Amino acid sequence: MEANNSENLESKGNRPSNFIKTIIEEDLKTNKWGGKVHTRFPPEPNGYLHIGHAKSICLNFGLAEEYYGKCNLRFDDTNPTKEEVEYVESIKEDVRWLGFDWEDREYYASDYFQQLYEWAIKLIKKGKAFVCDLSPEEVRQYRGTLTEPGIESPYRNRSIEENLDLFERMKNGEFPDGSRTLRAKIDMKHPNLNMRDPVMYRILHEEHHRTGKKWCIYPMYDYAHGQSDSIEGITHSICTLEFEDHRPLYDWFCNELEIHHPQQIEFARLNLTYTLMSKRKLLELVKEGIVNGWDDPRMPTISGFRRRGYTPESIRNFADRVGVAKSESIVDYALLEFCIREHLNKIAKRVLAVINPLKVIITNYPENAEEELEAINNPEDLSMGTRKIKFTREIFIERDDFMLNPPKKYYRLSPGKEVRLRYGYYITCTGYKTDENTGEILEVYCTYDPETKGGQSPDGRKVQGTIHWVSTRYSIEAEARLYEQLFIKEDPDDYPEGGSWRDNINPDSLKIVNIKIEPTILEDVLTQKFQFERVGYFCFDKESTKEKLIFNRTVTLRDTWAKISKTS
Ligand code: ATP
Ligand code: MG
């Protein structure tokens, strides 16, 4: 689509403003890029995408959407040793799932290796790059520090001819790994360390997932990234703050090569409480078997959130609410949970399920009788209709919903007390049976009031508590996986000296329970999201089968009941 200037000046959506949008709107006014907005999302395919990447995806694709521009998906695959095809595929799936489309603009930095090589030769010919024989360790030593200038490499003043010859032989595989590098010739006294003759190419005799054995020299990130942006005609190259110090180098390469020069803009990365966001550490969680794969529902990966039952809408909404800023901050995990609750509240089908079952026998209800009660599928969306659930003499209720010696303000079931069964009758507790040895409550006896069908009493008698239940005869068993935070500390990287983030792992991050659930659950396609009333939001897990239903708890509801019984 050709950009149209007049409609371009105004943003399309009504997303909140931020400093990047201000820059773009100014550029559109001054026609800096000919009215174009072209961004990119540049993941390195060395792991699965996490929620931080989601913020970057929403930002880059979101800006393109808002300003009638384009956003490329570019795999930043300059490091052959850590990259795998599996990651490329997962990244594409995740971006698509979030709801974004890169159309035919799927690019790979490795597609530019030849061009980058030719540009390196151009820099050598300009006297702006040289082959250096220092070892990686020596390069580090010569670099200097923030307070001390660096020392020039003894190979810095090689002739252009010698540099061209050596560089070609580097490319031809004549030298072993680490023996030589190609470096930019800038300034060893530069206050910014990145400008002290940075390495552009290193020798690595490794096969690449796309170029195979073609190359044994690989460009460094700083030499590849800006030029890839340039080749693709990117206008605004948006990256995280740690690249601010690399911007002078980004600019230097574009200027020296005299090529299209995108503007690099840095924003603060997303940090979340109770969450690790480093791909290296996430890989360790997977490799060490601390979690069950990249898409374990406790992982902060996009695939983990998807499996846990998060919706793309909730994550996009979260990204909007978090906003875009110039300074680092840590976002409360509760905001993410708020966003998913908000969405699921609108779309999730309500069902009755009992997580920790306790049998209740309604002694005045006939043994073999049964009846159908009408239940609302979603009070927030009545177009989702109603369903019939079976009521019988024996039911399960939540163990937590019965107490022998309840505290004040406990409005659930206890001896002598009356409660309402959701969509059903009022019942009054008349007795219970305990295990002689353990004192555990085995079953509870109640009577029901036949006049209260549907949850209303004709005499206007009020009960304060409503509890959920399922019929023992008409419920099915399922497994529920209840997740808690993977880490017990807000900052998982806060550990005593000599320790590691592993010390902060929550040993109770996964609890597996057998639950009882109403059989209507089977009517729904596997993608359906559910609210187990009074319990939480759940979805089918991918390991679920017809024989064994498995649910993941996406997020809890804020159950004030649970709080009262715990604190009193
Ligand atoms: P990690 O440090 O976890 O390995 P990375 O930044 O190296 O992550 P890339 O694949 O290079 O991972 O990231 C792709 C894009 O996503 C980059 O533009 C990067 O700035 C952005 N990004 C990565 N992490 C975050 C984050 N926590 N918040 C926002 N953007 C992020
Ligand atoms: Mg990176």
Do 126 and 104 share a structural domain? yes
Do 138 and 234 share a structural domain? yes
Residue 266 forms beta bridges with which residues?
Answer: 239
CA of 109 to the centre of ligand 1 (A): 16
96 is annotated as an active-site residue: no
Q: Domain ends where: 432, 467, 502?
A: 467
337 is annotated as an active-site residue: no
Within a domain: residue 207?
yes
Within a domain: residue 298?
yes
DSSP assignments along 237-249, one per residue: EEEEGGGGGGHHH
Do 293 and 407 share a structural domain? no
Do 241 and 180 share a structural domain? yes
Q: Domain span at residue 492?
A: 279-349+479-567
Q: Which atom of ligand 1 is nearest to the CA of 271?
A: 27
Catalytic entry in 92, 105, 122, 269: 269
In terms of DSSP bridges, do strands 353-354 and 418-421 run parallel, antiparallel, or are they unpaired?
A: unpaired
pLDDT of residue 561: 36
- Residue 300: which residues within 8 A CB-CB, separation 6 or more? 50, 51, 52, 272, 275, 276, 277, 282
Q: Distance between CA atoms of 483 and 309, rounded to whole angstroms?
A: 12
pLDDT of residue 488: 96
Q: Is 44 in the pocket of ligand 1 (CB under 6 A)?
A: yes
pLDDT of residue 16: 81
Terminal C-alpha separation, the chain: 63
Within a domain: residue 473?
no
CATH number at residue 538: 1.10.1160.10
Q: Which atom of ligand 1 is nearest to the CA of 56?
A: 30
pLDDT of residue 14: 64
44 is annotated as an active-site residue: yes
Catalytic entry in 44, 66, 313, 479: 44
Q: Distance between CA atoms of 76 and 229, rounded to whole angstroms?
A: 11
Within a domain: residue 10?
no
Do 337 and 214 share a structural domain? no
Q: Distance between CA atoms of 525 and 529, rounded to whole angstroms?
A: 9
* pTM, entire model: 0.93
pLDDT of residue 8: 42
Using N-to-C axis directions, what is the helix angle for 113-125 and 247-257, rounded to 10°? 80
Q: Is 343 in the pocket of ligand 1 (CB under 6 A)?
A: no
Q: Distance between CA atoms of 239 and 262, rounded to whole angstroms?
A: 12
CATH number at residue 386: 2.40.240.10
Within a domain: residue 2?
no
pLDDT of residue 11: 54
CA of 43 to the centre of ligand 1 (A): 7
pLDDT of residue 528: 85
pLDDT of residue 562: 38
Residue 17 forms beta bridges with which residues?
Answer: none
Among candidate residues 122, 121, 104, 115, the one with its CA nearest the CA of residue 231:
115
Do 380 and 235 share a structural domain? no
CA of 207 to the centre of ligand 2 (A): 21
Test site for ligand 1: of 84, 269, 277, 493, most ligand atoms within 8 A of the Cβ:
269
pLDDT of residue 522: 86
Within a domain: residue 32?
yes
Q: Is 329 in the pocket of ligand 1 (CB under 6 A)?
A: no
Do 138 and 102 share a structural domain? yes
pLDDT of residue 12: 58
Q: What is the mean pLDDT of each run of 10 residues along the chain (568 residues)?
A: 42 77 97 97 97 98 97 96 89 98 98 98 98 96 96 98 98 98 98 98 96 97 98 98 97 98 98 96 97 98 98 97 93 95 96 98 96 96 95 98 95 96 97 96 97 91 94 97 96 95 97 96 79 96 92 84 38
101 by Cβ neighbours in 10 Å (0-12 / 13-18 / 19+) ranks as exposed
CA of 359 to the centre of ligand 1 (A): 51
Residue 466 near residue 537, CB atoms below 8 Å: no
Q: Tell whether the torsion through CA atoms of 310, 383, 556 and 322 is positive or negative.
A: positive
Number of domains in the chain: 3
pLDDT of residue 337: 95
CA of 57 to the centre of ligand 1 (A): 10
